[in-house]
């Protein structure tokens, strides 16, 4: 059973994934990803993954866990956290730990091994974003979970170990400190000004336009004021909404258009870079709130986290967001 | 002039290093480091760096900025922050920024290009640690600076762009949030218990011994309870001291022994891994305090920061610290 351990000074949690334990000699960086012939996410290999928990596209009456699907969500075969067991918190001297309870699922975005998320049609990507919502709505019924982190690692430099297009979600028994910091920061702003800081950001970016990349009726795509990495890009609903899973399918369709545009332009500008994206949304047990505003942060993996970043939490970014946005506005995707 | 920009929600600062600006096509990972024939840190190439601000080993009367040195500290030729100018804080709508004032220096540890820090003798390493102290004592006279981050990136996977052994320091006009979090966490512990949390950690680790790697009269080397990466190792003075620069040279000698042992054992265990180390010390303008305790954190670069880590601040570590410590206790360096 993995363990969640808390650093006693800064309160940072770490998952000690003992089941994944490796010998020191195995700790070299992972080798190349398997080719499609061996890919556990390709159609025909459904028995190489745990049984599906969500699927679209399969013909009525067709058996589960066989081919014919369009989006397929399965538990991770090597989960960082385990779904079985009780949440058990205890102390070890001055230290805190708890059982590594959680869910770790993989959202397989398409049956086609070689298609990237950016190559999906708007309709296909909408189905992926809807699958995210469906999984949140299901997993939030499990009262052990406090937060669901939805994210995607694309490319080896962004930590992807399998090539077949997939996103991931991890349901956690605690709200991560980084998420809580964001929620607390937004709440402080609301307490002072009775306004949502993210709505303020949307208003300033629409007025200023120098960091704007794209917008449609419902979503704004822009380079944030203080980006950690070159070409970091945020996708934010213009209308206030704290919870991703509250969005109706029509609005997820417009989100898919914004996300697809972002990924295609980043790919054209930077030559298919590795990237991470993270869905930032309100914690499961918090009520919908006027102070928090869900959004997606896309970070191309172009710079390396080194000693200065580790030690300070500061980031050094050689590309001003205004230059990145101008480039992304003009690039032909 | 670089800019320091503050994220309006979480308060994270980012250095927008405009002078380093690159075209999108230049953002690929850096290529191999230059060989020693072209290395700006090698003896005989002193004119390839800005003029030295600290040096040891040169014969009395020998000219500055020529060969004959043992440790040499120079300003970084491509600094993340600039030393000239006034600290100018301003708003841009809802956003905050300030001039990128600071110092960015390189501590060249040895004239020998191919020797790693772990290969230095204890005496040589003591001189490097003493150079860190001397630079802090000098730079703290500049009242624009609030914090000095001392760190080392070794190896390409840890972000080193030059092979010649060197450490770095960045003097900052703000205390980084990550440092402040640590100081605040330690202060809360002290307020509750009237004890230093780090002294408590030292006591528990010495009693428990399962995470212990090495100790001498003054320093403890151990795997922390909640390590972010496999084989993360901390070096901590056993005696309470909040400020690195307060340590006398004899104690820095024992610190050098502990650091050298750590680096040699990590190298033997993991095959000369890339690593970062960071000196954690009390901010320049804070008084010495009973609640904070300086130390060094060494992090081998074995796992990749991916979407989950970016989004949550959680880390997934496949090696329990007890296993890492046992391995490091037994390995022959």
> Does A22 have pLDDT greater than 60?
no
Convert the pLDDT of each residue in A29-75 to its tens digit: 444 455 556 899 999 999 999 999 999 999 988 999 999 999 999 99
**Average pLDDT of the residues in B58-73:** 94
pLDDT at A128: 98
Number of residues in chain A: 333
Which phi and psi angles does B112 have, rounded to 5°?
A: -85, 115
Q: Does an H or E element contain B153, and which?
A: strand B147-154
Residues 6+ positions from A4 with CB-CB distance below 8 Å = A13, A14, A15, A16, A81, A97, A98, A99, A100, A173, A174
What CA–CA distance (Å, rounded) separates B191 from B119?
43
Topology of domain A178-330, CATH: HIT family, subunit A (3.30.428)
Calculate how close chain B gets to A26, using CA atoms only, in Å: 9
CB contact under 8 A, A185 and B11: yes
- 3-state DSSP assignment of residue A175: coil
Tell me if B3-18+35-176 shares its fold with B178-330: yes
Q: Please list every residue in chain A whose beta carbon sits closer than 8 Å to the beta carbon of residue B168.
A: 307-308
In order of A4, A62, A144, A308, the CA distances from A7 in angstroms are 10, 49, 22, 20
Convert the pLDDT of each residue in B82-118 to its tens digit: 888 888 889 999 999 999 899 999 999 999 999 999 9
CB contact under 8 A, B8 and A197: yes
What CA–CA distance (Å, rounded) separates B177 from A87?
31
CB contact under 8 A, A177 and B313: yes
pLDDT band at B19 (very low <50, low <70, confident <90, very high): low
Average pLDDT, chain B: 92
Q: Which residues of A are catalytic?
A: 166
Q: Does an H or E element contain A299, and which?
A: strand A295-300
pLDDT band at B287 (very low <50, low <70, confident <90, very high): very high
Average pLDDT, chain A: 92
pLDDT at A303: 81
In order of A109, A162, A217, the CA distances from A121 in angstroms are 11, 22, 19
Both structure tokens of B228:
């972010």
Q: Indicate left, alpha or beta for A51 from its phi (over 0: left) and psi (-120 to 50: alpha).
A: beta
Q: Chain A interface, mutation test: which of B204, B289, B308, most A Cβ atoms within 10 Å?
A: B308
> By 3-state DSSP, what share of chain A in percent is helix, strand and coil, each rounded to 5?
30, 25, 45
Please tell me if residue B27 touches chain A, with a CB cutoff of 8 Å.
yes
Convert the pLDDT of each residue in A147-202 to its tens digit: 999 999 999 889 888 999 999 999 999 999 889 999 999 999 999 999 999 999 99
Domain residue extents for chain B: 3-18+35-176, 178-330
Exposure on the CB side of residue B222, measured as CA atoms within 13 A? 25
Start-to-end Cα distance in chain B = 45
- 3-state DSSP assignment of residue A92: strand
* Strands of the sheet with A95-99, listed across from one edge: A89-92, A95-99, A3-6, A13-16, B315-317
CB contact under 8 A, B315 and A14: yes
Convert the pLDDT of each residue in B198-209 to its tens digit: 999 999 999 999
Convert the pLDDT of each residue in A114-143 to its tens digit: 999 999 999 999 999 999 999 999 999 999
CB contact under 8 A, B16 and A320: yes
> CATH top-level class for B3-18+35-176?
alpha beta
Least confident of A215-229, B81-95, B215-229: B81-95
Calculate how close chain B gets to A67, using CA atoms only, in Å: 29
Q: Please list every residue in chain B whose beta carbon sits closer than 8 Å to the beta carbon of residue A151.
A: 306-308, 310-311
Q: Are A254 and A296 in contact (CB under 8 A)?
A: no
pLDDT at B88: 87
Q: Are B2 and B100 in contact (CB under 8 A)?
A: yes
Q: Are A87 and A67 in contact (CB under 8 A)?
A: no
**Average pLDDT of the residues in B125-143:** 97
Sign of the torsion formed by the C-alpha atoms of B243, B248, B253 and B258 = negative
Convert the pLDDT of each residue in A302-332 to its tens digit: 887 888 888 888 899 999 999 999 999 999 8
Q: Please list every residue in chain A whose beta carbon sits closer than 8 Å to the beta carbon of residue B292.
A: none
Q: Please list every residue in chain A whose beta carbon sits closer than 8 Å to the beta carbon of residue B170.
A: 308, 312
Residue B141: other Cβ atoms inside 10 A: 8
Q: Are A97 and A90 in contact (CB under 8 A)?
A: yes
Q: By CA distance, what is A9's nearest residue in B?
A: B185
Calculate how close chain B gets to A63, using CA atoms only, in Å: 33
Is the domain spanning A3-18+36-176 CATH 3.40.50.300? The answer is no
What CA–CA distance (Å, rounded) separates B1 from A175?
38
Q: What is the DSSP string of B205-250?
A: HHHH-TTEEEE-SSEEEE--SS-SSTT-EEEEESS--S-GGG--HH
* pTM confidence score: 0.93
pLDDT at B180: 93
């Amino acid at each position: 059973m993995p363990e969640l351990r808390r650093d006693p000074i800064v309160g940072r949690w770490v998952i000690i994934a003992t089941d994944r334990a490796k010998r020191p000699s195995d700790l070299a960086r992972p080798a190349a990803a398997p080719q499609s012939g061996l890919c556990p996410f390709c159609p025909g290999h459904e028995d190489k993954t745990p049984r599906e928990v969500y699927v679209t596209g399969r013909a009525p009456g067709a058996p589960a866990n066989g081919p014919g699907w369009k989006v397929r969500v399965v538990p991770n075969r090597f989960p960082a956290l385990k779904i079985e067991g009780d949440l058990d918190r205890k102390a070890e001297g001055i230290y805190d730990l708890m059982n590594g309870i959680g869910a770790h699922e993989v959202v397989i975005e398409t049956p086609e091994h070689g298609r990237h998320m950016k190559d999906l049609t708007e309709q296909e990507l909408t189905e992926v974003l809807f699958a995210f919502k469906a999984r949140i709505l299901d997993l939030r019924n499990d009262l052990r979970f406090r937060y669901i982190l939805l994210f995607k690692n694309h490319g080896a430099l962004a930590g992807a170990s399998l090539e077949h297009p997939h996103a991931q979600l991890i349901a956690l028994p605690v709200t991560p400190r980084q998420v809580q910091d964001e929620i607390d920061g937004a709440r402080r702003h609301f307490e002072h000004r009775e306004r949502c800081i993210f709505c303020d950001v949307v208003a300033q970016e629409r007025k200023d336009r120098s960091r704007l990349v794209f917008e449609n009726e419902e979503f704004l795509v822009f380079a944030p004021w203080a980006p950690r990495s070159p070409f970091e890009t945020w996708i934010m609903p213009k209308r206030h909404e704290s919870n991703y899973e509250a969005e109706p399918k029509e609005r997820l369709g417009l989100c898919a258009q914004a996300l697809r545009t972002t990924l295609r332009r980043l790919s054209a500008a930077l030559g298919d870079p590795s990237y991470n994206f993270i869905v930032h949304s309100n914690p499961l047990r918090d009520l919908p709130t006027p102070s928090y505003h869900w959004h997606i942060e896309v970070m191309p993996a172009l710079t390396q986290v080194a000693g200065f970043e580790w030690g300070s939490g500061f980031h050094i970014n050689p590309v001003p967001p205004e230059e990145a946005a101008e480039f992304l506005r003009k690039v032909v995707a």
